[in-house]
Amino acid sequence: MVPLLGNIIRDRRPARLAPLIGLALAAAALAAPAGARAEGVTLKVFGGSSLDKLAPRQPPEAQKTIENAVIQGFLKAHPEVAAVEWDAQGPQTGALQRLMTAKLADQEMDLIACSAFWTNGAYVRRGLVRALSPEEIAPFAANIEPAALGAFTIGGKVYGVPVTTLSTSTLFYNADLFAKIGIPVPPSYDDLKAAAPKLKAAGVIPLLHQGANVPMWPMWYFETLSQTSGDAVAKTQTDLDGKTRFDDAASTAAFAMIKTWVDDGILSKDSLAIDMDGMRSAFASGKSAMYYGGTWEIPSLREGVKDFRWGTFPFPKMPGAKGEPAHGGGADNGLCLSASIPEAKVRPALDFVAYLTRPDVARLYLEPEEPIATSVKGVAGIDAPYAVALRETTFPKTIKFLDWIWPSEVATATASAISGVVGGTLTPEAAGASVQAAFQTLVDDGTWPPKD
């Protein structure tokens, strides 16, 4: 494992946005007048939330400028298309409901801007999107990182094309404090166990998690199941196929492994009462030395941590584990063909998807996001030390988030079970049994496996 001693940063933000908006405006200026295509096809892109856009984390005016430039560039290259109308709004939590409402109202949708989470967990199961054939993907497959495409591959079929930044999961740490106490970086689990009493003696909580935000607990299970089973994704699939169980030895051991972090004094039980803001605040103020989360935490760290250097290191291999560490993550967003797309619009829709995967186009909407990694080959991540280290050590060992595969009922049961294990109200065996019971209810009710 490559040492991550250089994987630390103070608050710095590259001034990338202004030049990219300039490029976007230039691209828009080259577009032919809309009236010239009045008779062509209009592509309707539907997004369930305001995050289902190009460059979704940019200020609204900048986001719209970038989106318009990309669309106008596509229209110039494809005069047979009159317009691309992109309708995405509302909170992320309401994405499925908004899409279902639009479907029931027979709203025209040709392409669906689809998060990997909803695509895996609901859109495919509910027949909202259709699979893409190898022939349809072939013209632009070489532009896409294969691992990113895997986030939208379900049962061997590809349902979406990632046009997005990539995420992974990692441990964030106070680099100055680690150096002061003499904690090796990257630390082994035994190093963390040995450091816990030293941190407590210094008046610092070793590790806090946003445990009050219960849906975030399964991230820990993604890590531990990889180590107890050897292949968490394959194990999850056999659980769902009924060939293995959510309460078998590997599953129970995964819950027990999380409990080890609590028993060894590393993960604080106080986490159960801490929400996302509390976790971030405790770390930024120096009250906690570490927290576990995804790379989406980095903007908050850059804004909030002012008094010390911070860094990242991968979730460590646990003592006695047969499997190697693997970290939850993947492509965040993509484009899916709607199940209701008219056949006449399939080719223009695929042309639009192909256009978005061109590196020169993808730079317009991806680089303003200051990505660590992206789904489009030829669009590099930023060169900050933490980003370079994550690409070297963590992204290569990143697997699909398991709650992209689980039915939502299993995800909810797993989150509650981990809370019980951490709080000491459930044994690992009881935790596994509760998840298996939730899954069995789906089977008994006839809602699993999902109907084609």
Q: What does the pLDDT look like over 414-452, one tens digit per residue?
A: 999 999 999 999 999 999 999 999 999 999 999 888 765
Residue 18 has pLDDT above 50, yes or no: no
List Cβ neighbours of 273 (8 Å cut-off, separation of 6 or more). 211, 212
Residue 61 has pLDDT above 90, yes or no: yes
Q: Are 115 and 52 in contact (CB under 8 A)?
A: yes
How would you label 181-216 residue by residue, b for 16+ Cβ within 10 Å and e otherwise? eebebbbebebbbebbeebeeeebbbbbbbbebeeb
Residue 11 has pLDDT above 80, yes or no: no
User: CA–CA separation, 47 vs 336, rounded Å?
Assistant: 10
Split at pLDDT 50, 70, 90, the class of 147 is confident
Specify the 3-state DSSP secondary structure of 170: strand
User: CA–CA separation, 280 vs 291, rounded Å?
Assistant: 8
Residue 450 has a pLDDT of 75
Q: Which of 33-37, 56-60, 93-97, 255-259 has the highest mean pLDDT?
A: 255-259
DSSP 374: B
List Cβ neighbours of 317 (8 Å cut-off, separation of 6 or more). 188, 189, 227, 324, 325
Split at pLDDT 50, 70, 90, the class of 22 is low
Query: Tell me: the pLDDT tens digits for 395-416?
Result: 999 999 999 889 889 999 999 9
To which CATH superfamily is domain 17-165+332-369 assigned? Periplasmic binding protein-like II (3.40.190.10)
Q: Give start-end residues of each CATH 3.40.190.10 domain in the chain.
A: 17-165+332-369, 167-329+398-445
Name which of 12-26, 128-142, 182-196 the model is least confident about: 12-26
Q: Are 333 and 352 in contact (CB under 8 A)?
A: no
List Cβ neighbours of 421 (8 Å cut-off, separation of 6 or more). 255, 256, 258, 259, 262, 427, 428, 431
> CATH number of the domain at 167-329+398-445, please?
3.40.190.10
CA end-to-end distance (rounded Å), the chain: 44
Residue 93 has a pLDDT of 80
Residue 314 has pLDDT above 60, yes or no: yes
Split at pLDDT 50, 70, 90, the class of 303 is very high
Structure tokens at 113: 């801007």
| pLDDT, average across residues 384-402 | 93
Nearest-CA neighbor of 353 among 128, 81, 96, 156? 81
Q: Are 406 and 206 in contact (CB under 8 A)?
A: no
Q: Identity (one letter) of the amino acid at 276?
A: M
Residue 3 has pLDDT above 70, yes or no: no
Q: Could you tell me the CA-to-CA distances from 313 to 42, 205, 359, 394 in Å, in that order? A: 47, 18, 30, 8
Element (H or E) spanning 261, and its range? helix 249-263
Q: What whole-number percentage of the chain has pLDDT above 70?
A: 91
**Centroid of chain to Cα 58:** 18
